[in-house]
Structure 1
Amino acid sequence: MKFSVQSLYTWYRDLIRNPKYRWWVILGTLLYFVSPFDIAPDFLPIVGQIDDVFLLTLLVTEVSGLVIEGFKARRGNIDANVEVQATDTTKDSTSSTTVDVDAVSVK
């Protein structure tokens, strides 16, 4: 089995996006942050804080991303309902629908 930082990040991200385990992962991350038992002990000058800062940054990034996605989804549902109502009242046989797609390359 190969270990990589990317696989660890992907595992953490998938786990925190799962609603069943989300709060357990957040609680575990916060407990790890305040715990004196770390991968790199905190009494080491710089190395001791790197793992805490990395994990806390990862937690804040993922939780803020989830909040933003939830906000956009709620706002998108409201905007979609308004747009559907507006297009229903002005149906025209000559109108066309344009779909704008942001392309992303996949490796």
Structure 2
Amino acid sequence: MNFSLESLYKWYRDVIRNPKYRWWVIGGSLLYLISPLDISPDIFPIIGWIDDGVIAGLLVAELSQVLLTRLKGKKETAPVDPVDAEVAANATAAEGSFVDVNAVAMK
């Protein structure tokens, strides 16, 4: 198994995009901030506060996404891939000039 920071970040982004797991992230970040156990203890002045700051930023970002979704009145759904959304918008704008092609790579 090949572990890298990039693969961890990709997994995290996929989890965050799924609204089902959003509440788990919010709950986990709240639990981490309340818990006396830290990755780096707060005894060390700046280094100890960095992990708490990152988790607090994550918590604020997730809560703001939930609130914005609720305020807009939309049901929480997984976001659409921006490329697919652009293609669909262009297809709607072109009204019939869109051709759907299933491309196959040639060797």
- RMSD across aligned positions (CA): 2.7
- Residues 29 and 56, structure 2, Cα contact 8 Å, conserved in 1: yes
Q: Give the match for residue 28 of structure 1.
A: 28
Q: Give the match for residue 2 of structure 1.
A: 3
- Residues 13 and 62, structure 1, Cα contact 8 Å, conserved in 2: no
Residues 20-53 of structure 1: per-residue CA shift (max 9 Å, x gap)? 3322221111010121111111111110110010
% identical aligned pairs: 54
Q: Give the match for residue 81 of structure 2.
A: none
> How far apart, in 2, do the equivalents of 1:45 and 1:19 lie?
35
Q: How does 1:58-77 map to 2 (within 5 A)?
A: 58-72=58-72, 74=74
Q: How does 1:49-64 map to 2 (within 5 A)?
A: 49-64=49-64
Aligned length: 76
Q: Which runs of 4+ in 1 moved over 6 A?
A: none
- Residues 29 and 55, structure 2, Cα contact 8 Å, conserved in 1: yes
Consecutive unaligned residues of structure 2, counting only runs of 5 or more, are 75-91, 95-107
Q: Give the match for residue 19 of structure 2.
A: 19
Determine if the alignment matches structure 1 residue 48 to structure 2 residue 24: no
TM-score by length of structure 2 reads: 0.53
Residues 1:69 and 1:20: Cα distance change in structure 2 (over 3 Å): closer
Structure with larger RCO (C-alpha < 8 A, sep 6+): 2
Consecutive unaligned residues of structure 1, counting only runs of 5 or more, are 75-96, 100-107
Between structure 1 and structure 2, the one with the greater Rg is 1
For 2:34, give the aligned amino acid: V
